[in-house]
Amino acid sequence: MTTELKDDVETTRDGATLLVRFARPAKKNALTIAMYERLNAALAEAAADPGVRAVVFGSTSETFTAGNDLGDFMQDPPTGESSPVFRFIAALAAFEKPLLAAVDGKAIGVGLTMLLHCDFVYATERASFVTPFVNLGLVPEAGSSLLLPRLLGHVRAAEMLLLGQPISAGQAHAWGLVNALLPPDEVLPRALATAKLLSERAPTALKLSKRLMKDSAALKARMSEEGALFVERLQSAEVAEAIGAFFEKRTPDFSKL
């Protein structure tokens, strides 16, 4: 077993499983551009290595991830599909091998939408899930505007995407967002155990079966549409107000916009 910590992302090779953990606890594992670049590299290496049969995402602390580090994000916002954040999302959607997640604590923004591209998601009973895009003057990303309505139905997806309010681990489990709720000391072992089972399955059959379960063309088209609108929204007065309010620790006022 080998572990490497680089750019606040910890990677561990455990047999045929690559464990990728967010490791920026002082900032609630908020993702920076450097972290996205490391995640992209890890996924590319895992995709190219026939010895890696599954990838498990987790965290080294009691927060899965608070989403994007807004200060870092707004200094170098995404401008197109070549941006690190969009490349990460595209890599998740295109990844042929099984993806799993062990979620503890908050999963905010991309911390939730990335789970929609995972094949197995295990969470602690204290986990919570938030999609705050509209609250920030933005639109959904990572295909979530397509995937969440399909998974949850329109009204539940609207509750998540339009209101942007947290949902509990219990709700997430009842709605089918996660496979199982577990105590904190059991969630990662369960994900790793499932990854081991998957590594014992026929690898090509797994890839083909995963491909058949997805509507890749529709997902790619929706992600492209979301991405273009997301980049456009970053220049809007609504985003300026929302981000300003975030850093000033106040409620945004969209009444005049």
**What is the structure's pLDDT at 200?**
97
106-109 contacts, C-beta under 8 A, 24 or more apart: 106/28, 106/63, 106/64, 106/65, 106/66, 106/130, 106/166, 107/64, 107/65, 108/65, 108/66, 108/67, 108/132, 109/66, 109/67, 109/68, 109/133
- Which is nearest to 57 in space by CA: 92, 85, 109? 92
Burial class of residue 124 (count of CB atoms within 10 Å of its CB; 0-12, 13-18, 19+): buried
Q: 192-244: per-residue pLDDT in tens?
A: 999 999 999 999 999 999 999 999 999 999 999 999 999 999 999 999 999 99
Kindly state the percentage of the chain with pLDDT values over 90: 96
**What is the structure's pLDDT at 256?**
83
Rounded to the nearest 5°, which phi and psi values hold at 148? -65, -45
Quick check: helix, strand or coil at residue 241? helix
Average pLDDT by stretches of 10, the chain with 257 residues: 94 97 98 98 98 98 96 91 96 98 98 98 98 97 97 96 96 97 98 98 97 95 97 96 93 91
Quick check: helix, strand or coil at residue 76? coil
**What is the structure's pLDDT at 137?**
96
